[in-house]
Amino acid sequence: MIYEKKYLELLSREFPTVQHASSEIINLSAILNLPKGTEIFITDIHGEFDAFNHYLKNASGIIKEKIDIIFTDESEENRSRLAFFIYYPTDMLSKYQAKIDPNDFHKLVRKTLYQMVQLSKYIITKYTKSKVSKALPKEFGYIITELLYESSDHEDKERYYQAIIDSIFATKREKKFIVEISRFIRNMAIDRLHIVGDIFDRGPKPHLIMEKLIPKQNVDIQWGNHDITFLGAACGSEVMVANVIRIAARYSNLDYLEDGYGISMLPLARLAHKYYGDDLCTEFIPKNKEEITEEDLNFMAKIHKAISVIQFKLEYEVISRNPNFQLEDRLLLDKLNLEDKTIVIDGTSYSLLDSNFPTIDQHNPYQLNEDECDVINHLTQLFLHNEMLQKHAKYLIQKGSMYLKYNGNLLFHAVIPMNTDGSFLAQEFDGLFYKGKALFDVCEQKIRQAYLNRYTPNHDKDIFMYLWQGSTSPLFGKHTMKTFERYFIADKAIRKENNNAYYKNRVEEASLKKIYKEFNLDFQRSKIVNGHVPMDITKGDQVILGNHRIYSIDGGMSKQYSDTTSIGGYSMISDSHAYFLVSHERFDTYHALIQKEKDIVSVTRSEELNTRRTYIYDTDQGAEIGERIQDLYKLLEAYRNGTIKEIG
């Protein structure tokens, strides 16, 4: 009772009178009965900023869908044009100003402005006036509020309504107004954005994705294995620094580190030239060869090989001091025979595709030479003290987690490690064994500990290597990672990486029930959402699994998957009526889309209708509001029985 009184006294500072508390109860009770907002789930973005940015602009097709519902009298061409005015207002205004005569342009802009106001009215119906007000642009907040909440049905109101529109044009603010109301529509179309892992690697602009996300309030991130390498590098893990640079070189994307983050690769380039200047580095030619000269490709291949060898050496220390990671099979440099250009793995000798290792001492193969030591130390300090990179790492820590339960659904990037018999696979840390939900929890705790202690010399950061490629890692999902074999051995059999049993077990009802029980999910209503493995619904891959309980939504957004998947990614949408799976055509450029005014949404679409409409009181937010209401009722009672006095 003492603690409850102290809590109510603190609450009374926010609601100092009976009137204040009563008003808030009424307000919150009304909010509970609003429809649930729209959630969008996206995974495996892999640095493809332009495609991701377009998915945000079109709200994964939601905006066009609303336009089609409202403007049934308009042609498909006109509805598509309106949609693109909302997605790319500045470009569309410039396009039509140059394309049509001034009178027609004026009419088009006026019509577009009216339609945007109508669309805004429709979209905001599930939000409180307070929430709408907070989302309005400051410059036009009052004007948009008047247009949204004033009816034009009555003759006098119609004059008032028209006067506002006329004034916008008279002051030559119509273009700016369209830009701002377009942004307002896009923001209100998505109530919550879930990114289910892998913002980083492969693609050219992960830094721009982070800059796009940071101003947004309604975002959560479930870390993917590629996000973990970035976080590890930001925490000062030398092996993760090497890994991030290696993958960037592998996909010709060093520019995002140099130009995006301002991390100079010059010391590494000098080392690569010194030791591999005469080496063709054929096996290290980057995968992405578009718009890159032969000379640059060859030079990047040398950088790629140099940092790869450094990474293989660095892995030794981490593996040696963490036998519980069970990564000993990744120690292969001591298995090299440079004289006959072979390597012996598990008793079998394999010929090497590349046997030029000028920095490897066969008697001490894992020892970095002086130049390699200087380079990796220098690069690690650049990562640790880069302002923009650390800002992005902080955001990942604040918004991210190993998994998330949200509105009854379970979100995680890759797998829940399992044995073939359906039991959870255990991992040892500090003498204790963890599995299932406990494994996720201890990994998250260790990640946060490593981040908070990143400027202190310690081995906390070793956790990132386990998460990147450990056989029991929830973010990896395979028995081993054959990076070395892919570079140096032609035999494809030795490169094989077997998937964790989770992928087979997850469609079995007994295993699913075990997972649902472990995470306290409702077996009849909850969904599991993950990505990690590209799936192509147009080729017969099953994306919705386990009797509609699992949505595996990695659609291969990265251009590197263009040979594997014919689509350009998925979005999963959950609104008050249904769950939707939307697949997207592969993104080219937004200029091409503007030219055609044809969107890339919904090659195929799956819909699962809710048995009844979902309201705020059904959601996690509703549960929090319900608790708040109960607390306020207790405060009211305390005011009325004299336990706590009113302040106001």
Are 66 and 180 part of one and the same domain?
Answer: yes
Lowest mean pLDDT among 139-143, 153-157, 409-413: 153-157
Residues 243 and 484: their CA atoms lie apart, in Å, by 12
Q: Are 212 and 235 in contact (CB under 8 A)?
A: no
| Residue 151 domain flag | yes
Q: What is the mean pLDDT of the segment spanning 172-181? A: 91
Q: What is the pLDDT of residue 377?
A: 98
Tens of pLDDT, residue by residue over 568-577, are: 778 889 988 8
Domain count of the fold of the chain: 2
Angle 519-525-526 from CA coordinates, rounded to 5°: 35
Residues 63 and 67: their CA atoms lie apart, in Å, by 6
CA separation, residue 257 to residues 200, 247, 290, 426, 484 (Å): 12, 11, 19, 36, 24
Grade residue 150 by pLDDT with cuts at 50, 70 and 90: low
Q: What torsion do the CA atoms of 615, 619, 622, 624 make, to the nearest 10 degrees?
A: 180
Are 17 and 96 part of one and the same domain?
Answer: no
Are 7 and 100 part of one and the same domain?
Answer: no
Q: Which of 126, 155, 189 is the last residue of a domain?
A: 189
| Residue 521 domain flag | no
Termini Cα distance of the chain: 24
Are 26 and 69 part of one and the same domain?
Answer: no
| Residue 27 domain flag | yes
Q: What is the pLDDT of residue 165?
A: 84
Question: Could you give the percent of the chain with pLDDT greater than 90?
Answer: 69
| Residue 176 domain flag | yes
Are 78 and 165 part of one and the same domain?
Answer: yes
At residue 627, the 3 state secondary structure works out as helix
Tens of pLDDT, residue by residue over 299-310, are: 999 999 999 999
Q: Which of 189, 205, 234 is the last residue of a domain?
A: 189
Q: What is the mean pLDDT of the segment spanning 34-55? A: 92
Grade residue 79 by pLDDT with cuts at 50, 70 and 90: very high
Q: Are 289 and 304 in contact (CB under 8 A)?
A: no
Q: For all residues of the chain together, what is the average pLDDT?
A: 91
| Residue 170 domain flag | yes
Q: Which residues fall within 8 angstroms of residue 363, CB to CB, at 6 or more apart?
A: none
Q: Are 343 and 350 in contact (CB under 8 A)?
A: yes
Q: What is the pLDDT of residue 558?
A: 76
Residues 525 and 579: their CA atoms lie apart, in Å, by 11
At residue 556, the 3 state secondary structure works out as coil
At residue 614, the 3 state secondary structure works out as coil
Q: Which of 189, 224, 240 is the last residue of a domain?
A: 189
Are 164 and 75 part of one and the same domain?
Answer: yes
Tens of pLDDT, residue by residue over 124-146, are: 988 888 888 888 888 888 888 88
Domain that holds residue 623: 2-34+619-640
Are 113 and 167 part of one and the same domain?
Answer: yes
Grade residue 104 by pLDDT with cuts at 50, 70 and 90: very high
Question: Could you give the percent of the chain with pLDDT greater than 70?
Answer: 96
Are 13 and 124 part of one and the same domain?
Answer: no
- 189: tokens are 């179309």
Which residue shows structure tokens 């892992």?
A: 197
Grade residue 633 by pLDDT with cuts at 50, 70 and 90: very high
Residue 387 has pLDDT above 70, yes or no: yes
Q: What is the pLDDT of residue 3?
A: 66
| Residue 370 domain flag | no
At residue 3, the 3 state secondary structure works out as helix
Are 91 and 179 part of one and the same domain?
Answer: yes
Residues 601 and 567: their CA atoms lie apart, in Å, by 10
Tens of pLDDT, residue by residue over 240-258, are: 999 999 999 999 999 999 9
Are 22 and 141 part of one and the same domain?
Answer: no
Are 85 and 147 part of one and the same domain?
Answer: yes
Q: What is the pLDDT of residue 605?
A: 66
Q: What is the pLDDT of residue 162?
A: 83
Q: What is the pLDDT of residue 442?
A: 98
Q: What is the pLDDT of residue 26?
A: 93
Residue 362 has pLDDT above 80, yes or no: yes
At residue 516, the 3 state secondary structure works out as helix
CA separation, residue 96 to residues 93, 109, 598 (Å): 5, 9, 16
Which long-range contacts does 383-391 make (Cβ < 8 Å, 24+ apart)?
383/233, 383/234, 383/236, 383/241, 383/244, 383/263, 384/234, 384/235, 384/236, 384/454, 384/455, 386/261, 386/262, 386/263, 388/207, 388/260, 388/261, 388/262, 389/234, 389/261, 389/263, 390/234, 391/214
Comparing CA positions, the residue from 70, 158, 85 lying closest to residue 122 is: 70
H-type helices in 197-293, by residue range? Answer: 206-213, 225-234, 238-250, 254-255, 266-276
Residue 443 has pLDDT above 80, yes or no: yes
Lowest mean pLDDT among 28-42, 54-68, 324-338, 593-607: 593-607
Backbone region of residue 347 per phi and psi (left: phi > 0; alpha: psi in -120 to 50; beta: other values): left
Q: What is the pLDDT of residue 129?
A: 84
Are 14 and 103 part of one and the same domain?
Answer: no
Q: What is the mean pLDDT of the segment spanning 99-124? A: 92
| Residue 199 domain flag | no
Tens of pLDDT, residue by residue over 444-462, are: 999 999 999 999 999 999 9
Report field, pTM of the whole predicted structure over 0.85: yes
- 531: tokens are 């990505």
Residue 2 has pLDDT above 70, yes or no: no
Comparing CA positions, the residue from 36, 192, 219 lying closest to residue 618 is: 36
Q: Are 445 and 430 in contact (CB under 8 A)?
A: no
Q: What is the pLDDT of residue 156?
A: 60
Phi and psi at 192, nearest 5°, equal -150, 130
Q: What is the DSSP letter of 470?
A: -
Q: What is the pLDDT of residue 607?
A: 78
Give 164's Cβ-side CA count (13 Å radius). 21
| Residue 30 domain flag | yes
